[in-house]
């Protein structure tokens, strides 16, 4: 994860005046804005934890009883460390004091239960957060990542969030539930992860603030996510809730944090960094 990616979500999660990180005119109230920032945080941290789960469960070195995985500053243990035995239960322990990769500090544990190879239809990867935080943003809930492939040449997964919750640096609390469908469009012919490209084709999630406001975000046009890039590079997301009614456009497939929000009035705001 690049430092700038997490810097972006941290800024957005604590924004109180403008839509996400907009430098434009104020168009929504404080509650709506914090929900937008919360959505950015939920998406970025979920993506980070799913990526960690795939990396850990794909690394054959974790078949040993206690091992570290390149790119993850944690100790990893496996309860059933044989190639044939499922479910495999991985514990990724970042420690109570935490450990740092690229200026991102993670504390606590991720418990990852794998019912079968993640490339096999029907296999499920469940990620539970235990006393877990990223850069002191406390994260709770469970991610369920299920292989839903029906065509061999189009790998597909569903990603569901249960009891999603985070406590921001300012002490505010946000919850989230939702489900999405993700398909792999490039890289399935190789064993390397770096050339993988994924598209979120459908789904929605609801973010609720501790002040009772809620926001619904629905995929309007496939969201493109390259494994090698920390940002969504293309696609559109419909946003509805409170004073917000519009569309976020992630651009033309460039690997950057820039995107735009177009309000129902037709006003467009350049967001990101």
CA distances from 202 to 68, 175, 222 (A): 35, 21, 7
pLDDT value of position 31: 37
Whether the predicted pLDDT of 69 surpasses 50: yes
What is the band of 17 on the pLDDT scale with cuts at 50, 70, 90? very low
The domain limits of the chain are 3-271
* Three-point CA angle 228, 273, 201, nearest 5°: 50
Average per-residue pLDDT in the chain?
Answer: 82
Closest CA to 10 of 141, 168, 193, 225: 168
Instruction: Please compute the mean of the pLDDT values over residues 208-225 and round it to a whole number.
Output: 91
Instruction: Please compute the mean of the pLDDT values over residues 7-27 and round it to a whole number.
Output: 39
Most confident of 124-133, 161-170, 206-215, 251-260: 124-133
| H or E, element range at 241 | strand 232-241
């Amino acid at each position: 994860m690049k430092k700038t990616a997490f810097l972006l979500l941290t800024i957005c999660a604590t924004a109180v005046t403008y839509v996400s990180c907009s430098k434009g005119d104020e168009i929504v109230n404080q509650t709506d804005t914090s929900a937008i920032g919360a959505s950015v945080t939920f998406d970025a941290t979920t993506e980070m934890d799913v990526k960690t789960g795939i990396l850990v469960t794909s690394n054959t070195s974790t078949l040993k009883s206690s091992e570290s995985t390149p790119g993850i500053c944690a100790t990893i243990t496996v309860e059933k460390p044989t190639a044939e035995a499922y479910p495999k239960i991985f514990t990724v322990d970042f420690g109570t004091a935490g450990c740092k990769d690229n200026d991102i500090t993670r504390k606590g544990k991720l418990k990852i239960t794998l019912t079968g190879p993640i490339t096999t239809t029907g296999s499920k990867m469940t990620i539970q957060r235990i006393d877990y935080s990223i850069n002191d943003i406390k994260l709770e809930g469970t991610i369920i990542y299920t292989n839903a492939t029906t065509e061999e040449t189009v790998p597909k997964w569903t990603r569901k969030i249960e009891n999603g919750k985070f406590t921001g640096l300012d002490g505010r609390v946000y919850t989230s539930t939702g489900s999405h469908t993700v398909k792999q469009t490039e890289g399935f012919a190789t064993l390397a992860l770096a050339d993988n490209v994924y598209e979120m084709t459908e789904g929605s999630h609801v973010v609720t603030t501790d002040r009772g406001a809620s926001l619904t975000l629905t995929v309007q046009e496939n969201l493109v996510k390259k494994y090698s890039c920390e940002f969504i590079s293309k696609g559109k997301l419909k946003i509805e809730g409170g004073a917000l009614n519009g569309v976020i456009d992630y651009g033309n497939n460039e690997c950057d944090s820039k995107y735009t929000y177009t309000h129902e009035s037709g006003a467009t705001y350049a967001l990101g960094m």
